[in-house]
Amino acid sequence: MTPEALLGGFIDAPVQSAHAFRAGLEALARPGTLHSLTGATPPAPMSVAAGVLILTLCDGTTPVHLAGHHDSDAIRDWVTFHVGAPLVTAEKAMFAIGTWAAMQPVGRFAIGQPDYPDRSATLIVEMPTLAPSGPHLSGPRLSGPGIKGEARLALPETAAFVRNRALFPLGFDCFFTAGSLVAGLPRSTNVEAN
Amino acid sequence: MTAPLPALAAVDSVAQPDHGRDERAGFHPEQPDVQHDRSREDHAKDQPVEKVVMALHAAHPEKGSMTDYNFAYLDEQTKRMIRRAILKGIAIPGYQVPFASREMPMPYGWGTGGVQVTAACLTPDDTLKVIDQGADDTTNAVSIRKFFQRTAGVAVTEATTEATIIQTRHRIPETALTKGQILVYQVPIPEPLRFLEPRETETRKMHELEEYGLMHVKLYEDIARHGTIATSYDYPVKVEGRYVMDPSPIPKFDNPKLSDNPAIQLFGAGREQRIYALPPHTHVVSLDFDDHPFVASKAAHDCDLCAAQDSYLDEVITDDQGSRMFVCSDTDFCRSRREAGHLGRLGTPLSEVEQ
Amino acid sequence: MYVAVKGGERAIDAAHAWLAEERRGDTGIAALSVAQIREQLALAVNRVMAEGSLYDPDLAALAIKQSRGDLIEAVFLIRAYRTTLPRFGASSPIDTGRMALTRRISATFKDLPGGQILGPTFDYTHRLLDFALMAEGETPASVISAPVSSPTGETGVHLAAAVPHVTGFLNRDGLIQTETPGDSTPPDLTREPMELPATRPLRLQALTRGDEGFVLSLAYSTQRGYGRTHAFVGELRIGTVAVEMDIPELGFAVQIGEVEVTECETVNQFTGSKTEPPQFTRGYGLVFGQTERKAISMSLVDRALRWQELGEDFTGAPAQDEEFVLMHADNVQATGFLEHIKLPHYVDFQAELELIRRLRAEAIAAKEAAE
């Protein structure tokens, strides 16, 4: 383990994680809206927002999958030191972190059981940028719980999220992260291409 | 047995996985002794065995003072577990997410589910309002508000419009909620099918298969017997056309406010270990029949204090001759109206009332 | 003029002050010390530790003092404290075969290796009020025999010789069903929500912290025929066992203390089935402290709950009904929900009132119209 792994955690966990949770809650409860997450500095290529989500939601009881370039020694050490989460394959993960491309095929992730749909994975998808929602933007149309009328959010693709919605109440849930920004896309959101 | 025994966090003598790795304080060279309230927890990590054993012995030297507790009372691992459950609840509106409810310092049935959800949501910047039966000054509301003042140091208010988090028992405030607010319900029995089928194993299957016929049969039997649906509170709803949900024992007058509400609505049932949620603008329908549509009813009176015609009313018996009056159950709503000059049949202008 | 009732906060403060005064009672009488409760009301302390799921006699004694002797309230205080404690790790399973015994009896064998040890029991006392205790003229009876094992060294650790379990003798001859040890980590009732159907480890956890009265009555109901299992007390043992913890940094387990427990194994009749020859079966009880009524009750209920695994019929008996037993055994949950009906419910009641008035008005109008 490198000394760097010990750095970049919360300084005041109870308060920082409380703020981070509220931002994450608002993001997932209002798909298409952008929120700011700060307070962690994980090793590259992990974004600040993804790092904050991990510190806030993961611990020794939550198996985590690191996908693609996120599966580096530096990130493994950082996640292990700060939250003690077991690092696992995609199939066993409660949380997964990586780019959308690195997470393919997404059919590997847990979508819950018909009697326990909550036992599903939460994907933290690293994006190059996050575009705020607005009618002038060309992202796919989002509708459903949490959205008054409709919202828009640039997504890595549309088809996978249409398929995921069709599984409801099963399905995975997503946070999209870029820098210190986060947006949420729960399984309940209808995604329509333009 | 006279030898004093070391403190030992109990049933754990049955082997546990590594739950123990709780809060790592991280490495902060500039702050060699980062002191959160739970410093014991932080320090015991990765220490040689003597120190661990010493920590076990010293686990509660200063038993009990509230300053021993973490921000908003719950430890961070518990909050993470509750937060994960809340997020899954948001993702599956109306579905009851099981969570490992903790014993709280108030009894089960007295709002422990709501208190745990509130504790998991609170930040030091929040302004908290707590109501019971619509009122801020009922004893249990006072007790819960005090608890969070002590353990989280948050600002409190009675004004619905000023609150960022509102914990409630049995009412939705009259004043419309807004974006950015969170309404936390205390729920006694989260399972809407429980009184039709007492077994959790059965009701879980019914939700899985969307088998809600039993509920409709029950409501229809009401109609056959009474000519109307004889459920006046705790009236079941269907969320986004999928899950039948118990809205907690709010009067059915409040049911329409559940739907398309701009606030986040979270439901916590501590004893029954369930959390569920309605994201903002979620479509919520009270169950009914074409020939017997749902009606949100209230007493056919105006508030005797503030003259409101559209608020839910409490009936107060004023003497032993059968005299009664009707007053808003939402005390903040009623007071705001009186402050704005509205005066009911038996009201007194606020300026004349001694504080 | 009407002014709504206010002052909930003042009422609460006043109630707390009054409660504190009542708790203390007549100040002319010396106050009880926590140490006195710990030493002289040890069985109450044990019950609070068992149902509170926290082994700490001092804290249990404090809880009893604070709760004015209301043991369920004391259990509640302990649980609420326990849940805030950080977790340093998990101990290894305790080895009850290496127990420093204070009591060990078997109802199934007259004598057996390790012997019968009657120990400090009420069993053969005559239940006559001892007015000498009231006169505070008690003289401690001299202890005739020393405890089986004595403290050694500064750590206060008992070195216990191995005393084999009675069921082991039966097992050697294949007369009793074998319990195969499992490597899987048992679920933790205090950290995970109850999931049904439950595994046996989860059932046993729920029973050991369940209300003594509830578990006792269920056990009694099985004896009277509601899910009868024909139980014999194969063995009841009470004593202290070492608690060891693996320290990863050291690579071996160290003893971090000891706890007193009561263990009961029942030997139950089993008539056999089409596939199995007749064999005895077991029920198991393990409870903190000297708590033998609870441990025996627990083992009877455990056995009754095993009907499915052992291929028996479900006769509809409450003690066989896992969901019924597990969902109602916890007295902290039960008392909270029971007592919450003291809270105001006038909003719900008002809704009912409106409904009843309307239904009655409609019924009366319909009747009048018919006449």
* pLDDT tens digit sequence for A92-102: 999 999 999 99
Chain A environment of B240 (Cβ under 8 Å): 144-145, 188
d(CA C322, CA B205): 17
d(CA C48, CA C59): 9
* B104/C80 Cβ within 8 A: yes
Look up tokens 């690195």; give the residue: A102
What confidence tier does C52 reach under pLDDT thresholds 50, 70, 90? very high
Pairwise pLDDT comparison (C264 vs A135), residue with the higher score:
C264
* A114/B280 Cβ within 8 A: no
Task: Report the pLDDT averaged over residues B267-273.
Answer: 96
- Give the pLDDT of residue B353: 58
Task: Report the pLDDT averaged over residues B7-16.
Answer: 35
Q: CB distance from B21 to chain A under 8 Å?
A: yes
Pairwise pLDDT comparison (C243 vs B38), residue with the higher score:
C243
Cβ under 8 Å to C: B residues 301-340: 304-305, 312-316, 318, 325, 327, 329, 331
- Give the pLDDT of residue C9: 77
Write the DSSP string, C14-76: HHHHHHHHHHH--TTSPPPPHHHHHHHSHHHHHHHHHHHT-B-HHHHHHHHHHTTT-HHHHHH
How far away is chain B from the Cα of A128, in angstroms, using its nearest Cα?
A: 24
- Give the pLDDT of residue C177: 85
What the block records as the tokens of C42 is 């040890």
Task: Report the pLDDT averaged over residues B227-242.
Answer: 92
The CATH H-level superfamily of B76-286 is Bacterial phosphonate metabolism protein PhnH (3.40.50.11310)
Percent of chain B, pLDDT > 90? 63
Q: Chains that contact C by 3+ CB pairs under 8 Å? A: B
Indicate if the pLDDT at residue B139 is higher than 90.
no
- Give the pLDDT of residue C213: 97
> Out of B108, B298, B327, whose CB is closest to C332?
B108
- Give the pLDDT of residue B2: 38
- Give the pLDDT of residue C243: 96
Please determine, for the modelled complex, whether the ipTM score is greater than 0.90. yes
The mean pLDDT of chain B is 83
Task: Report the pLDDT averaged over residues B334-352.
Answer: 88
> Out of C240, C243, C351, whose CB is closest to B13?
C243
- Give the pLDDT of residue B96: 98
- Give the pLDDT of residue B67: 52
**Residue C362 contacts residue C354 (beta carbons within 8 Å):** no
Cβ under 8 Å to A: B residues 305-334: none
Indicate if the pLDDT at residue C85 is higher than 90.
no
Q: What are the angstrom distances between the C-alpha of B57 and each of B4, B339, C88?
A: 11, 58, 12
The mean pLDDT of chain C is 88
Percent of chain A, pLDDT > 70? 96
Q: Which of left, alpha, beta for A87 (phi over 0: left; psi -120 to 50: alpha)?
A: beta
- Give the pLDDT of residue B3: 38
The CATH H-level superfamily of A10-192 is Bacterial phosphonate metabolism protein PhnH (3.40.50.11310)
> Out of A18, A19, A29, whose CB is closest to B264?
A29
Give me the residue spans of the domains in chain C.
31-86, 96-120+154-178+193-329, 341-370
* pLDDT tens digit sequence for C112-164: 888 899 999 998 888 888 888 888 766 666 665 544 443 333 333 344 678 88
Residue A17 DSSP SS3: helix
Indicate if the pLDDT at residue B171 is higher than 60.
yes
Q: How many CB pairs under 8 A join B and C?
A: 273
What confidence tier does B18 reach under pLDDT thresholds 50, 70, 90? very low
The ranges of chain A with pLDDT < 70 are 1, 132-138
Look up tokens 């849940």; give the residue: C83
d(CA C371, CA C359): 18
Write the DSSP string, A68-116: GGG-SHHHHHHHHHHH-PPB--GGG-SEEEEETTTT-SGGGS-B--SS-
What confidence tier does B10 reach under pLDDT thresholds 50, 70, 90? very low
Give me the residue spans of the domains in chain B.
76-286, 298-355
3-state helix, strand and coil shares in percent for chain C, rounded to the nearest 5: 40, 15, 45
Indicate if the pLDDT at residue B114 is higher than 60.
yes
A128: number of Cβ within 10 Å:
8
Look up tokens 């973490």; give the residue: B70
What confidence tier does C277 reach under pLDDT thresholds 50, 70, 90? confident
Chain A environment of B23 (Cβ under 8 Å): 13
- Give the pLDDT of residue C115: 86
Closest CA to C296 of C266, C330, C326: C266
Residue C91 DSSP code: B
Indicate if the pLDDT at residue C367 is higher than 80.
yes
Task: Report the pLDDT averaged over residues B283-295.
Answer: 93
What confidence tier does B46 reach under pLDDT thresholds 50, 70, 90? very low
* B22/A59 Cβ within 8 A: yes
